[in-house]
Chain A
Amino acid sequence: MEAGAAAARGRMGWRLWAVVPVLLLALAVGAVVTSGSSLVDLVGTNPPPADEFDIRRVEFSPGEIRITVRNPQPDDLTIANVNIDDAIVPFTVDGPTELGRLRSSTIVVPFDWVEEDPITVGVTSSTGIQTVKEIPAAIATPEPALRGFLGYAVIGALVGILPVALGLLWLPALRQASPAWLAAFMALTAGLLVFLGLEALSEAFALQAALPSALGGSGLVLLGVALSFLGMTALSGRLSRGGTATGFALALLVSIGIGIHNLGEGLAIGASFALGELQLGTFLIIGFMIHNITEGLGIAAPVAKTRVTILALVALALVAGAPAILGAWIGGYTSSDVLGVLFFAIAAGAAFQVVVEVGRYVARQAPGGLRSGYAIGGFLAGIAVMYVTGVLAG
Chain B
Amino acid sequence: MTKKPFTRRKLLAAAAPLAAVPFVGKLALGGDAEAGGQSHASHLRPESDAAHIVGGRGATMGHAAMIGPEVPAVGGPNDLDALLYPPRALRAKPGRVREYTLIAEDKDLEIAPGIFFPAWTYNGTAPGPVIRATEGDTLRVRFLNRGSHPHTIHFHGIHPTNMDGVFEIVESGGQFVYEFEARPAGLHLYHCHATPLKKHIHKGLHGAFIVDPKEPRPPAQELVLVMNGFDTDADGENNFYTVNGRSFYYARYPIRVKRSELVRIYLANLTEFDLINSLHLHADFFRYQPTGTGDYWEYTDTIMQCQGQRGVLEIQFANTGRFMFHAHQSEFTELGWMGFFEVVE
Residue of B9, B57, B72 touching A88 (CB-CB under 8 A): B72
Task: Report the Cα distance A83→B112, complex, angstroms.
Answer: 13
Q: Does B1 contact A (CB under 8 A)?
A: yes
Cross-chain pair count, CB within 8 angstroms: 81
Chain A residues within an 8 Å CB radius of B331 = 86-87
Cα distance A108–B2 in the bound complex, in angstroms? 12
> Within the assembled complex, what's the spacing in Å between the Cα atoms of A213 and B65?
41
B43-63 interface with A by 8 A CB criterion: 57-61
In the complex, are the beta carbons of A63 and B239 less than 8 A apart? no
**CB of B262 within 8 A of chain A?**
no
Chain A, Cβ-Cβ closest to B247: A88
CB pair A124 B115 closer than 8 Å = yes
| Selected contact of A80 from candidates B9, B65, B113, B336, CB within 8 Å | B113
Q: Is the CB of B233 within 8 A of A129?
A: yes
Q: Cβ of B334 < 8 Å from any Cβ of A?
A: yes
**Given A90-B66, A127-B232, A128-B233, do A63 and B60 touch, yes or no (CB 8 Å)?**
yes
A130:B232 contact, CB within 8 angstroms: yes
Known contacts A63-B9, A144-B1; decide if A111 and B60 are in contact (CB<8 Å): yes
Contact B59 A81 (CB under 8 A): no
Which of A94, A108, A110, A111 is most buried by chain B, counting CB atoms within 10 A of its CB? A110
Which residues of chain A (208-233) have a CB below 8 Å from chain B?
none
B54 to chain A, nearest CB (A): 12
| Contact with A112, one of B59, B71, B72, B248 (Cβ below 8 angstroms) | B59
- Could you give, for residues 115-126 of chain B, a 1 whenever the CB lies within 8 Å of some chain A CB and a 0 otherwise? 111000000000
With contact pairs A130-B232, A130-B239 given, residues A90 and B70 touching in the complex (Cβ less than 8 Å)? yes
Main DSSP-derived SS at the B contact region: loop
Interface centre among B8, B59, B248 (most CB of A within 10 A): B59
Query: Whose C-beta in chain B lies nearest to the C-beta of A52?
Result: B233
Bound-state CA distance A8–B230 (Å) is 72
As a 0/1 sequence over residues 213 to 249 of chain B, the CB contacts with chain A under 8 angstroms (1 = contact) are 0000000000000000010110000011000000110
Quote the shortest CB–CB distance from A181 to chain B (angstroms): 51
A92 in contact (CB, < 8 A): yes
Instruction: Please indicate the chain A residues that have their CB under 8 angstroms from the CB of B247 in the complex.
Output: 88
Residues of B within 8 A of A111 (CB): 59-60
A333 to B114, CA, bound (A): 33
For residue B38, CB closer than 8 A to chain A, the reply is no
Whether B232 pairs with A110 at a CB distance below 8 angstroms is: no
Q: B114: which of A81, A86, A110, A130 is its contact (CB, 8 Å)?
A: A81
- Once the chains bind, are B113 and A94 in contact (CB under 8 Å)? no
Say how far A96's CB is from chain B's closest CB, in angstroms.
Answer: 13
Q: How far is the CB of A115 from chain B (nearest CB, A)?
A: 14
B59–A63 CB distance below 8 A:
yes
Decide if B88 is an interface residue (CB 8 Å cutoff).
no
Knowing A63-B9, A87-B331, A129-B233, the reply to whether A81 touches B113 (Cβ < 8 A) is yes
The smallest C-beta distance from A315 to any residue of chain B, in angstroms, reads 33
Instruction: Look across to chain B and name the residue whose beta carbon is closest to the beta carbon of A122.
Output: B239
B1-42 vs A, CB cutoff 8 Å, 1 = contact: the mask equals 110100111000000000000000000000000000000000
Within 8 A of A (CB), among B169-227: none
> Which 7 pairs show the lowest CB-CB distances between chains A and B?
A128-B232, A63-B59, A87-B334, A80-B114, A112-B60, A110-B59, A129-B233
- Residues on A facing B (Cβ under 8 Å): 62-64, 78, 80-81, 83, 86-90, 92, 94, 106, 108, 110-112, 124, 126-130, 144, 333
User: 12 A-B pairs, CB-CB below 8 angstroms?
Assistant: A63-B59, A63-B60, A88-B240, A88-B247, A88-B334, A88-B336, A124-B232, A126-B116, A127-B115, A127-B232, A128-B115, A128-B233
